[in-house]
Amino acid sequence: MSDERLFTFRNRWFTVSVLGTIGIAVVSALIGFVWLPSVHRDAQFTGVWNAICSAAGLPRSWYSEGTIVESKTKLTSVEMTPQLLANVSANSIGRGATLALRCTMCHGERGMSEANSPNLAGQFASVIYKQLVDFQQGVRTNAVMSPMAANLSDQDMRDLAAYYASLPRPPAQRKVSDALAPPVVAHGAPMRNIAPCAACHGGIDTKAGSPWLDGLPAAYTKSQLIAFANGTRTNDIDGVMRNVARNMTPEEIDAAAMYYARELNGKP
């Protein structure tokens, strides 16, 4: 039996193991507490100490300067429930039709856009209402919609939502078989934390607050997915769409946008 000690730096394998472990720990610390916080937008990751506190789950009072770090991102104030605007009156729809006259340039006379703006005909009333409130409160911003929503009353927004929801949804210009749905739409990508689009936007199920996507212009859907991915749009509830979009590849974004626009291989 050899008398050579295993746990000694004279043993080259022990030396390599120790140095390798230290190297991995140093690289992990640099990535986790320096590089990732430097590119992360959330306020609680600002600075190495804040990143350590956040990773360890420590109280926010322990953060730098003993202050509570709050996110600067505005969050929607609309509480989405299946009952929101579920029952509307004919008077509300009529008032909404009058108010919608100022919206025709972008959204069309009957809620069908020819300018790559979203089609609103047949959209869920709660979805339209939420977006109008978010535009008004600055939770979602747009050079055209923000000033348009600024002077609307809460009842105005409810009436507009009721009117557009009452319009018939447009028939698909080209029926794309569900069997040809892109994998990200039909199945998602579980290993990348991407749920199927159809789980929230119809096909499998519909989640309160999730818009009906069929027939939306591909350019619009693509631009919104990119905005969610890069964080310029943040009015999704609980960050669901941001988490999904940032994990989608450009090819998946294109495929989903074309599918919901009822386009196949770029051809309507």
Task: Give the per-residue pLDDT at 258.
Answer: 93
Rounded mean pLDDT of 116-142? 95
What mean pLDDT do residues 162-188 have?
81
Residue 194 has phi, psi (to 5 degrees) of: -110, 115
Q: Which of 19, 21, 50 is nearest to 37 (CA)?
A: 50
- Does residue 268 surpass a pLDDT of 60? no
Domain-by-domain residue ranges, the chain? 12-66, 90-166, 178-260
Whether the per-residue pLDDT at 126 is higher than 80: the answer is yes
Assigned CATH for 90-166: 1.10.760.10
- C-alpha dihedral sign at 246, 247, 248, 249: positive
The reply to whether 90-166 and 178-260 are identical in fold is yes
Tens digits of residue pLDDT in 14-30: 788 888 899 898 888 77
pLDDT tens-digit series, residues 202-257: 777 678 889 999 889 999 999 999 999 999 999 998 899 999 999 999 999 999 99
Model pLDDT for residues 22-77, shown as the tens digit of each residue: 989 888 877 766 666 666 555 555 666 666 666 665 565 655 554 444 556 777 88
Specify the pTM: 0.71
1.25.40.20, 3.40.50.300, 3.60.70.12, 1.10.760.10: CATH of 178-260: 1.10.760.10
